[in-house]
Structure 1
Amino acid sequence: MPTFPFEIVSPEKLLFTGEVEAVVVPGMEGEFTVLKDHSPVMSVLKPGIVEIDETAAVKTQLFVRGGFADVSPNGLTILAEYAIPLAELDSARLDADVTAAEADVARAKDDESRRIATEKRDQLIELRGVLKL
């Protein structure tokens, strides 16, 4: 399968850079898969799992908590608000994320901020249920 350049960066570090066959991205409007020569698109990310297929046999999963994905002729770049290898995600860390999201809801100053914070909190709670953490 043809490959394309991909990198995912968080404020803390570069989590992955290299040639990949496919990446599944948790876009705000739904998951989408990026393959070589994908049409250019930008998407806001929702909390979820980025699935990286380096090859058919080598796959990596990362948990992201928001950010942006930019698909261009040069490949895919994800700027994650927060990202961690899925293998390192535990219930305590996810519970802390939910607690922080609940605090964001409580601090929201207007309806739009409250809606966004509530949506993020609900996505984290749903993810916790799906991952059974």
Structure 2
Amino acid sequence: MADTMQFDLVSPERKLLSAQATEVQIPGTDGELTVGPGHAAVITTLRPGVLKVTSNGQVTEFAVTGGFAEISPEGVSVLAERSLPKGEVTQSVIDDWVAEAHKAHKEAHHTVVDDAAKLLSDMVAMGTHIGLDPNVPNF
């Protein structure tokens, strides 16, 4: 089995990373998922969170707001709804993303309120994990 796998992360705006990786940690909708070379084929949806890629002994982190990950024994391809390198996520960015999640939560119909509440919770948790204050009042 190979020691590395191909990893690609793209968002609608740009390709964020294409590299040989030894490990990828994915914030999946159903929970965190760690992928290594030779992993079984899986497609999963992403929740807002921090995606971590280990390549050449270095860990690179990206904030993602959602999307999909296609995992195969040869590698991982992530199509993110939105993504930025952790270092580019400023307080202003988190404020905007949380405001959008608040708006979605407020405008949600009764049948999708739980999904919008989870989106909001995940956005706040991602900001906190990155070390930023999402300025969210208690519900």
Corresponding residue for residue 125 of structure 1? 124
Tell me, what secondary structure is at the counterpart of 1:62? strand
Percent identical across equivalent pairs?
Answer: 30
After superposition, what is the alpha-carbon deviation per residue over 1:76-121, rounded to whole angstroms, capped at 9, x for unaligned?
110100000001111111011111011111222341x222111101
Corresponding residue for residue 66 of structure 1? 66
Corresponding residue for residue 51 of structure 1? 52
Cα displacement (A) at 1:74: 3.5
Corresponding residue for residue 135 of structure 2? none
State the alpha-carbon separation in 2 of the partners of residues 127 and 60 from structure 1: 15
Cα displacement (A) at 1:19: 1.2
Corresponding residue for residue 95 of structure 2? 95
Higher mean C-alpha deviation, range 9-18 or range 69-78: 69-78
What runs of 5+ residues in structure 1 fail to find an aligned partner? Answer: none
State the alpha-carbon separation in 2 of the partners of residues 17 and 130 from structure 1: 24
Higher mean C-alpha deviation, range 79-88 or range 1-10: 1-10
Tell me, what secondary structure is at the counterpart of 1:76? strand
Cα displacement (A) at 1:53: 0.6
How many aligned residue pairs are there?
Answer: 131
TM-score, length of structure 1 as denominator length: 0.91
After superposition, what is the alpha-carbon deviation per residue over 1:38-79, rounded to whole angstroms, capped at 9, x for unaligned?
0111111111111111122x2211110011111023411101
Q: Which amino acid aligns with 2:79?
A: L
Q: RMSD value over aligned CA atoms?
A: 1.4
Cα displacement (A) at 1:128: 2.3
What runs of 5+ residues in structure 2 fail to find an aligned partner? Answer: 133-139
Q: Which amino acid aligns with 1:3?
A: T
